[in-house]
Amino acid sequence: MIISVNNVRMVLQNFVVALKWILKLIVLNAAAGKQYVLSVLLQLADRCREFLPSQHHQEDRLVEQANERTGRSV
């Protein structure tokens, strides 16, 4: 097999094209991963908003009960 400069150049060009294609896939995958993480964080924030008001309500009720037992404000 005769190796010429043109053959080497063509192989290197194909290799560079393949590397660019792989890099593009990695970047697209990373963008999709970031979007997924953002979606999960937004869902978690919604769940926290649902939980926190009920938590504050419970704390207010405990303070009121303490006031009734001791006869003074906390």
pLDDT value for 4: 85
DSSP string, 5-69: HHHHHHHHHHHHHHHHHHHHHHHHHHHHHHHHHHHHHHHHHHHHHHHHHHHHHHHHHHHHHHHHH
Hey, what are 60's tokens?
Answer: 């207010």
- Contact status, residue 44 vs residue 52, Cβ threshold 8 Å: no
- How do residues 14-64 score in pLDDT, each as one tens digit? 999 999 999 999 998 998 888 888 888 888 888 877 776 655 556 666 666
